[in-house]
Structure 1
Amino acid sequence: MSIGPLFDEYSERYEHIRLERDDDGVLQVTLHTGGDSLIWTSQAHDELAYCFTDISCDPGNKAVVLTGAGSAFCAEIDFSSFQLGTPGDWSHVMFEGKRLLTNLMNIEVPVVAAINGPALVHPEIPVLSDIVLASETTVFKDGPHFPSGIVPGDGAHVVWTHVLGPARGRYFLLTGQEIGARQALDHGVVNEVLPPGKVLPRARELAAGIAAGPALARRFSRVVLTHEIKRLLHEQLGLGLAHEALAALDR
């Protein structure tokens, strides 16, 4: 009896996520809108949470490459797609918001990010990867939150103070700072900076090497290396989302 979903059962399920797996078990996850760079919407937000669950439950996935289509990882958001006017609306956002990052971290094989360009909307998602590669065109910014009058409580407050450190993380979130690829490398946010055309091939090269290793070593390395950030998310994600919702309802 097989355990977990078969790849064919979920590979075509998502409108904003293209899933491709090679014979070595490397799963490439490409975020997109109509084949071009992802525009963040309520649907994309919810799809990712469910997709990460499917990925984590499929033992055929031996390593994961996370990337974006077009010239940006995600640089735009469609605020009109979100219904945020009532406590009930925010209850849904809080439920899906918890699942989004939690389910990403529940993938029990290493994840390699190939950041293909500006990551201005939810840049915490790719930087949570185990190995983070960035194009020379990459810029990080937490655009949709504090610069737009919104509390950065949906995980941004945890991830950026973790990867940048408390002082740099708070500055990044409160000022709308943009961090270029080379500065991100200096700060330890990314591991390599490459020309745009070399980011994805390098990510696939690293993922193939990981996929060739022993199964339990892959799985349990991911478990132990992500334990601390999962602990922080467990402790702080609900708190952050509740305060984000409360402040938004007071606008």
Structure 2
Amino acid sequence: MTDASPLLQERDGAVLTVTLNWPEKRNPVSDPAMVDALCAAMEAADRDLGVHVVILTGAGKAFSSGGDLKAMQVPDTGGLRSARPAETRRNYRYGIQRLPMMFQSLEVPVIAAVNGPAIGAGCDLACMCDIRIASESARFASSFVKLGIVPGDGGAWLLQRVVGFAKASELALTGRMIEPEEALAIGLVSQVVPDGDLMSAARAVADMVAANPAYATRMTKRLLREAQDASLANILEISAGMQALAHATADNQEAIDAFVERREPVFRGE
């Protein structure tokens, strides 16, 4: 545990940057204080229509080391591990497992700016985001097996939806670390940029997202998430309902008017 605030937040227009702020511990996400802070920050951003996109990154040299191994070394000393298996289950359920459930429920788009190693639950945290941009210092590993454990934070569900079943199986069963170039090749990230360009690259994508009508962006994000599990028939039904809502917005009318009048639209989030 550290006295530093788990997160830093900086709002610039419609873009909120959230930074994991325990660099001396390489930004673990298993601590209850970090889980609470992340859930609170993301849920607040989701409620605020003025926030069009969130950038998530890490302070220091790591994105996130995942679990705090020192806290897990001795059971019942503040980590997820307990001498009582039933209590360990509860620690996961009411601790780190809140993160994938929370991220899956968000409508505001989230961009992971992966500034360094994203290991174990840190890799899974990146997979919880919608877009991942890596610096040249980034490294990724689903390394749970190397510790004799399984991905207890939903990684078995998350990773294969990003890179496919075969590649997810290889990474999870070997636990090997991959370089950013391989992460790009398998679709784990969409860009690899020099370290000094990471935040500007993430901001460039964020600005492109934020420039679009907020209601349409959020409903599109929701549809993409629902489509991970729903049938085509169900997605078509949800899409029709959301399209009815979208057509009723002032921004939709403004977009059509601007196209016909050959001018740039002015969206107001209405």
TM-score norm. by structure 2 comes to: 0.73
* Secondary structure, counterpart of 1:82 in structure 2: coil
Provide the secondary structure at the position in 1 that maps to 2:118: coil
Q: Identity of paired residues, percent?
A: 32
Paired residue type of 1:133: I
Please say if residues 46 and 107 of structure 2, whose CA atoms lie closer than 8 Å, have aligned partners that are also in contact.
Answer: yes
- Equivalent in the alignment of 1:140: 140
Partners of 2:152 and 2:24 lie apart in 1 by 30
Q: 1:67 to 1:226 in 2, by over 3 A?
A: same
Q: Deviations over 1:14-70 (max 9, x none)?
A: 921111111x21000111216884134423234323333222222221111111111
Which residue of the partner structure matches residue 64 of structure 2?
74
- Superposition RMSD on alpha carbons, in Å? 2.2
Per the alignment, residue 29 of structure 1 pairs with 18
CA distance in 2, matches of 1:63, 1:36: 27
> 2:41 maps to what in 1?
51
Q: Gaps (5+ residues) in structure 1?
A: 1-13, 232-251
Give the aligned partner of residue 178 of structure 1. Answer: 177
Corresponding residue of 1:205:
204
Q: What do residues 90-124 of structure 1 show as CA deviations (whole Å, max 9, x unaligned)?
A: 21321334321111122212211111011113111
Residue of structure 2 in register with 1:113 after alignment: 112
Any gaps of 5 or more consecutive residues in structure 2? 72-77, 231-270
Cα distance in 2 for partners of 1:42, 1:207 equals 28
Between the two structures, name the one with larger relative contact order (CA 8 Å, sep ≥ 6): 1
Kept in 1, the 8 Å contact 2:52–2:214? The answer is yes
Distance 1:26 1:159 in 2: 25
Distance 1:83 1:205, change over 3 A: closer
When normalised by structure 1's length, the TM-score is 0.78
Residue of structure 2 in register with 1:65 after alignment? 55
Residue in 1 that maps onto 2:130: 130
* Distance of aligned partners of 1:25 and 1:36 in 2 relative to their CA distance in 1, 3 Å threshold: farther
Contact 1:49 1:101 in 2 (8 A): no
2:81 pairs, out of 57, 79, 84, with 84
Shift of residue 83, structure 1, vs aligned partner: 4.4
Task: Extract structure 1 runs of 4+ deviating beyond 6 A.
Answer: none
Instruction: For 2:43, give the aligned amino acid.
Output: T
- Give the counterpart of 2:31 among 28, 42, 52: 42
| Aligned-partner SS, 1:75 | coil
Q: What is residue 157 of structure 1 aligned with on the other side?
A: 156
Q: CA deviation at 1:151?
A: 1.7
1-side partners of 2:152 and 2:117: how far apart? 21
Paired with 2:81 and 2:36, the residues of 1 have a C-alpha distance of: 15
CA apart distance, 1:175: 1.1
| Conservation of the 8 A alpha-carbon contact between 2:20 and 2:27 | yes
Q: Which residue of structure 1 lines up, in the alignment, with residue 220 of structure 2?
A: 221
After superposition, the Cα gap between the structure-2 partners of 1:40 and 1:110, relative to the gap in structure 1 and judged at 3 Å, is: closer
One-letter amino acid matched to 2:137: T
Distance 1:106 1:91 in 2: 21
- Within 1, Cα distance between the matches of 2:66 and 2:104? 24
CA distance in 2: counterparts of 1:153 and 1:75, whole angstroms: 15
Write the distance in 2 (CA, Å) between the matches of 1:153 and 1:40.
Answer: 13
Shift of 1:221: 1.3
Shift of 1:218: 1.2
**What is the SS of the residue equivalent to 1:137?**
coil
Q: 1:190 Cα shift? A: 0.6
